[in-house]
Structure formats: C-alpha cells, structure tokens
C-alpha cells in the first residue's frame, strides 16, 4: 500500500506571542528575553511534516498560521479532513520559575471515539522519543482537551520537555532537538501504521529533482525553502518559481547554481553532517544553523541571519571558552562536535 493513502495531521499548540502565563520560559538573563512555547511547537511540527513528506505520507497542517487558533476551530478543521491520525506538539511548564521538573510525556484521551487506537499511537510515539532523545520518560498519560477527545481520528499530544527547566528551555530553540522530536514522532507513526521508516540523514534516500519533477520530494523541497523565507506554493510541482528559488539558495550557499537539487543541495538544505568549517564572513544555511545552536546554549549572537559577522564570531569564542576548546572563533570539527550535543 502506498503511504500517500494515509493523511497525517500535524498540529502545534498556541501562537507566537500568547498573552497568558505558562506559555513561555522564565526570563533568561543571558538572552535578555523569554522563549515562547510555540517557537518549539511550530518548529517540531514542521520537522515532523518534513519527515512525513520524505516518507511519502500526505500531510495536513492544522494550524499554518503564526497566531493562535481556537481549539474549537482546530477541531472543526480536523474533523472535516478525514485524517488517518493527528499528532500535536507542545511543551510543558511547572510553576513560573525555573525548577527541576523535566522529561517527555505523551497524552491521549480515553473519551476519543477511537481511544484504543489513540493510546496505541501515543505508546508508539513515546517509545520512539525515548529511543531518539536524551529526555527522561514521564510516561503515556490521559488528558481531555479538544484536539484529543473531540476529534474523529486517533490523536496524541507530545509534551517534549519543560520550559521551566533551564536545560530543556535551551532545547526549545535547539534545531537538532526540534528535528529529533519531529523525526521520532514520524518514526512512531510509521510503527503505528506498520510501514517502514525512511531516515533523514542518509542522502541516498533523496532523489535528484529538477524542473518538471512532481513527487513528494518536491513538496519537501518547497516546504523547506518556505521555512527559509521563500514564498512558494507547496504543490509538489517543480516549476520555474521553484527553480528560481533553488538557484537563489544555491548561490547563497556557495553551491553550483544550476537549479537542480542533487546530493550537495539536499545536504545544505537539511544541514546534514559533515559540517563545513565556518569562520568570519561565512554565509549560508549552516551559519544560520550555527547561530541557532549558539542561542540554544544561551549565548547571544544578535540577529540570526545566516551571516557570520563579528557578533557571531564573539559568540563562538565565548562558547569555545566555556567548553575548554581552542578559542579561535573558527567552527571546526571539535566545536561542531560540542555544539551537536543535545
């Protein structure tokens, strides 16, 4: 059976700037700000969607908006789609101050009309999250909220960590952790549906695509490019606008500018290792990735823009000093290795 017969729902809790307390970290002095919960939720959801597209599933994004959407409206959207299942991404809180509460837990509702399947889905997600992340397991639990109890498909909600735990607050903006959560949830979905999981980090799994191609990997390409700021229609058709976006990405990342998405372009789009040596005046997606990793270690770098300027160099030096590395402001194998620890 082809995987595209399955329609997977992906949902992220809350909006970018919710006014209610409990949806953000305590104040982080080093960053001079708080981190809103949806920054993680949306990123993990998007990585889950990427994984689902790579695995040839059809995907429905319940809440593509940045702003919050009411639970009632999300339930209405979900129930109109005849989804195979739904996965919701969230992050926990415990009081309003930093404390030691930590770990991952997955919820389902015993009042869902397909409660047994929802529990089975939750158990599969939980098992994969424990295998793929370093998070402490807090169990599979029940919860009655609309996206679990009122939807007409099997449904689970993942609380990937606690924003009131300093280490896990950093994980909220760590692109490696965001990706891992999304990937493991897709692996759990594959187990639930009894289909093979295609892993992210093997470039042999990505076909060469170009203008005229039309498949799930074109959906994946367009979806990733849009997260990087390109304004494409995600329709799975590799047309002239997608070609122009690919060429622009290739130019910005010092790749051969041919509009063809082969091994090197896929590697840069996905920021897969081996990671390149980066230094002052480097540019591109790996620099953007680096800047996010530095911020997840509570080191301010200024604007996250994919440009290795003086502030990024200073942040690299600070990270190197904190981790007993050679303090040269150059991101080589040892600095990458330490940054990649989640």
Angle between helices 37-54 and 175-193 (to 10 degrees): 50
Residues 130 and 181 placed together within one structural domain of the fold = yes
Domain boundary residue, one of 270, 305, 326? 270
pLDDT in tens, 47-73: 999 999 999 999 999 999 998 999 999
pLDDT at 342: 73
CB atoms under 10 Å from CB of 120, counted, come to: 17
Domain boundary residue, one of 151, 170, 193? 193
pLDDT at 332: 98
**Structural domain contains residue 172:** yes
Q: Domain containing 293 — which CATH number? A: 1.10.101.10
**Structural domain contains residue 264:** yes
Residues 2 and 56: their CA atoms lie apart, in Å, by 8
Q: Domain containing 109 — which CATH number? A: 3.40.630.40
Residues 225 and 310 placed together within one structural domain of the fold = no
3-class SS of residue 92: strand
**Structural domain contains residue 280:** no
Residues 226 and 184 placed together within one structural domain of the fold = no
Residues 45 and 94 placed together within one structural domain of the fold = yes
3-class SS of residue 34: coil
pLDDT at 2: 72
For residue 265, give the H/E element and its range: helix 263-270
pLDDT at 19: 65
Residues 196 and 216: their CA atoms lie apart, in Å, by 16
Residues 93 and 118 placed together within one structural domain of the fold = yes
Spell out, as residue ranges, where the chain has pLDDT lower than 50: 1
Residues 228 and 311 placed together within one structural domain of the fold = no
**Structural domain contains residue 35:** yes
**Structural domain contains residue 199:** no
pLDDT at 16: 77
- The torsion angles phi and psi of 123, rounded to 5 degrees, stand at -65, -40
Domain that holds residue 265: 204-270
Residues 127 and 121: their CA atoms lie apart, in Å, by 10
From residue 55, alpha-carbon distances to 59, 73, 199 in Å are 11, 28, 9
Which residues lie across from 104 on neighbouring strands? 137
Residues 119 and 230 placed together within one structural domain of the fold = no
**Structural domain contains residue 278:** no
Angle between helices 263-270 and 285-296 (to 10 degrees): 20
Helix ranges restricted to H, 271-309:
285-296
3-class SS of residue 7: strand
Residues 39 and 96: their CA atoms lie apart, in Å, by 18
Number of structural domains (the chain) is 3
Measured over the CA atoms of residue 45, residue 48, residue 54 and residue 57, the dihedral's sign is: negative
Residues 293 and 261 placed together within one structural domain of the fold = no
Residues 185 and 234 placed together within one structural domain of the fold = no
Joined together, the tokens standing for residue 210 give 């170009």
3-class SS of residue 11: strand
Q: Residues 6 or more apart from 186 whose CB is under 8 A from it?
A: 48, 51, 52, 55, 197
pLDDT at 76: 97
**Structural domain contains residue 245:** yes
**Structural domain contains residue 276:** no
Residues 124 and 63 placed together within one structural domain of the fold = yes
Joined together, the tokens standing for residue 61 give 């994004």
Residues 139 and 179 placed together within one structural domain of the fold = yes
Residues 152 and 18 placed together within one structural domain of the fold = yes
Domain boundary residue, one of 247, 270, 293? 270
3-class SS of residue 341: coil
């Amino acid at each position: 059976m082809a995987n595209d017969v399955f329609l997977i729902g992906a949902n992220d809790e809350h909006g970018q700037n919710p006014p209610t307390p409990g949806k953000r970290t305590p104040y982080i002095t080093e960053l001079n700000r708080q981190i809103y919960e949806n920054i993680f939720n949306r990123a993990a959801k998007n990585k889950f969607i990427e994984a689902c597209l790579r695995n040839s599933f059809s995907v429905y994004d319940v809440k593509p908006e940045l702003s919050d959407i009411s639970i009632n409206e999300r339930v209405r959207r979900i129930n109109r789609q005849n989804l195979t299942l739904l996965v919701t991404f969230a992050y926990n809180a415990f009081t309003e101050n930093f404390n030691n509460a930590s770990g991952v837990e997955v919820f389902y509702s015993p009042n869902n009309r397909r409660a047994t399947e929802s529990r089975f889905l939750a158990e599969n997600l939980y098992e994969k999250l424990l295998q793929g992340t370093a998070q402490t397991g807090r169990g599979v639990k029940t919860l009655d909220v609309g996206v679990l109890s009122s939807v007409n498909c099997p449904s689970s909600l993942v609380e990937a960590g606690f924003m009131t735990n300093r280490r896990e607050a950093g994980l909220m903006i760590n692109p490696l952790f965001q990706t891992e959560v999304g990937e493991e949830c897709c692996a759990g979905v594959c187990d639930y549906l009894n289909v093979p999981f295609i892993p992210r980090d093997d470039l042999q799994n990505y076909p060469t695509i170009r203008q005229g191609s039309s498949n799930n990997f074109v959906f994946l390409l367009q979806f990733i490019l849009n997260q990087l700021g390109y304004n494409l229609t995600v329709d799975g058709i590799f047309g002239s606008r997608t070609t122009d976006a690919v060429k622009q990405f290739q130019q910005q990342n010092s790749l051969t500018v041919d509009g063809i998405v082969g091994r090197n372009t896929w590697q840069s789009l996905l920021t897969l290792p081996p990671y390149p040596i980066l230094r002052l005046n480097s540019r591109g997606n790996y620099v953007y990735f680096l800047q996010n990793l530095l911020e997840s270690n509570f080191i301010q770098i200024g604007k996250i823009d994919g440009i290795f300027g003086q502030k990024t160099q200073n942040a690299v030096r600070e990270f190197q000093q904190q981790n007993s590395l050679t303090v040269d402001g150059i991101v080589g194998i040892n600095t990458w290795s330490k940054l990649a620890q989640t």
